[in-house]
Amino acid sequence: MSNLEARTGRDHQRYDNNFRLVSGCIPYRMVKDKEDSSVDFENKLQVLMVSSPNRHDLVFPKGGWEDDETVLEAASREAMEEAGVKGILREDPLGVWEFRSKSSSVEPDCCLGGGCKGYMFALEVKEELATWPEQDNRERKWLNVKEALELCRYEWMQSALEEFIRVMTEDGSTKEEDFLTISSISSRGERQIDPQYCSVVN
């Protein structure tokens, strides 16, 4: 069992015009094949998804953004609590998505009107913890991006993943023709934050 505990309750939850503010990330890694350097992008870039408690859905780590932390700290905390990973978090969000819970059992108290506003970031995983706060309720699974796109149950998460792929392409991590035809977006910055959950570098 992990020595760290997941935050619970909504006493410090942030809201914006009745939208519950949520922060999360897409954890990823680049897999290098020592025997075959020509491994295509679809299989080289992997993302980490976790199961939802008491369900078989796979989702990206996310949760409530609280009033005693920055949105970046909230995203990195959720990655550690739900997926047991730490790494390098990009400062600029992939985007901000407004969504409504389709099931109260999946997104309880997602806000007064049932809506959430989610900030999603990209997290390059550098460490996988053997134990983490929510390991009893969640399983983690590495997938290639094609598999992840097919398994995304929520449209907004699929949109966030598509934006993540665009970021990776623009950053030169792969060539556009290797996987999808992707349009250019603005460059992303990075900075240092609380290393308890993950690090962000300049």
* β-bridge pairing 19-30 and 62-64: antiparallel
pLDDT for residue 35 is more than 80: no
What pLDDT is stored for residue 149 in this prediction?
93
H or E segment to which residue 142 belongs: strand 140-144
Supply the pLDDT for residue 18: 85
Residue position matching structure tokens 């047991």: 84
φ, ψ for residue 163, nearest 5 deg = -65, -35
pLDDT level of residue 44 (50, 70, 90 thresholds): confident
Residue 105 has a pLDDT of 42
Taking CB atoms within 8 Å and a gap of at least 24, the contacts of 48-52 are 48/83, 48/85, 48/125, 48/140, 48/141, 48/142, 48/143, 49/140, 49/141, 49/143, 49/148, 49/151, 50/82, 50/83, 50/138, 50/139, 50/140, 50/141, 51/138, 51/139, 51/140, 51/141, 52/106, 52/138
153 confidence band (pLDDT: 50, 70, 90): confident
Q: Higher pLDDT residue, 118 or 3?
A: 118
67 or 169: which leads in pLDDT: 67
The whole-model pTM stands at 0.76
pLDDT of residue 157 exceeding 90, the answer is yes
How many other C-beta atoms lie within 10 A of the C-beta of residue 152?
20
Predicted pLDDT at 133 = 94
Query: H/E element holding 97?
Result: strand 95-100
